[in-house]
């Protein structure tokens, strides 16, 4: 217990704030959760050949390990990306209060994350958006449409929340992609 207290004492104020918000459920950091998959025979995947899991720890590896989440998890043909917010390499908000600019930044980060698995937006089958201002989102939606072009389009859910992980963040996007779909 003593070692834990010493480690926490050296943690930055920002990391303590993020940890407290994450652990108490304030904010929406999407932690990728991989449930057991079922094969075509109906048997759990663990009873079949072992699935390979690949984790992506992005720019903020120390924060991700401290908070206990991966930016992305791939199992077999499915990739789950955690909620992506407009955070720079130092874990500071980018374009605070500007949802459209944050959306553009986030889609670029998602594009980079997908590329690390040799995927692109044509592979995305599900997208969830968490926003603090629906009116600002409505103004930014043409950019989202541009990202997906003429399709295929993912299923999509948008949820308004009162606050995201850090002040100034207005949007967070999480996606699921499938390698089983061909690139276009």
Contact 95, 105 (CB under 8 A): yes
- Counting as low any pLDDT under 70, the low residues of the chain are 1-50, 55-60, 181-184
SS3 46: helix
Distance CA 128, CA 155 (A): 8
Q: Could you tell me if 69 and 29 are in contact, meaning their C-beta atoms sit under 8 angstroms apart?
A: yes
* Dist CA 1 CA 95 (whole Å): 39
Q: Which residues are CB-contacts of 83 (< 8 A; sequence separation ≥ 6)?
A: 28, 29, 30, 128, 130, 172, 173, 174
Report pLDDT for 51: 76
Give the CA distances from residue 138 to residues 70, 143, 158, in Å, rounded to whole numbers and listed in that order.
Answer: 30, 10, 11
Q: pLDDT per residue over 20-39, tens digit each?
A: 444 333 333 333 333 333 33
Fold of the domain spanning 2-178: 60s Ribosomal Protein L30; Chain: A; (3.30.1330)
Domain locations in the chain as residue ranges: 2-178
Q: What pLDDT is recorded for position 146?
A: 96
- Report pTM: 0.71
Beta-carbon contacts of residue 72 (< 8 Å; ≥ 6 apart)? 32, 55, 56, 58, 79, 80, 81, 82, 113, 116, 117
């Amino acid at each position: 217990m003593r070692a834990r207290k010493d480690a926490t004492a050296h943690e930055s104020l920002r990391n303590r704030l993020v940890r407290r918000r994450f652990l108490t459920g304030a904010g929406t950091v999407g932690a990728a959760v991989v449930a057991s998959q079922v094969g075509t025979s109906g048997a759990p995947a663990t009873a079949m050949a072992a699935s390979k899991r690949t984790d992506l720890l992005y720019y903020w590896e120390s924060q991700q390990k401290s908070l206990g989440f991966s930016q992305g998890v791939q199992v077999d043909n499915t990739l789950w990306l955690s909620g992506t917010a407009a955070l720079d390499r130092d874990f500071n908000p980018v374009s605070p209060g500007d949802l459209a600019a944050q959306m553009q930044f986030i889609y670029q980060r998602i594009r980079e994350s997908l590329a690390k698995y040799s995927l692109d937006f044509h592979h995305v089958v599900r997208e969830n958006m968490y926003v603090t201002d629906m009116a600002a989102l409505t103004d930014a939606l043409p950019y989202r449409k541009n990202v997906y072009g003429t399709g295929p389009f993912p299923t999509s859910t948008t949820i308004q929340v009162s606050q995201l992980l850090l002040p100034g963040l207005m949007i967070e996007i999480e996606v699921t992609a499938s390698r089983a779909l061909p690139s276009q």
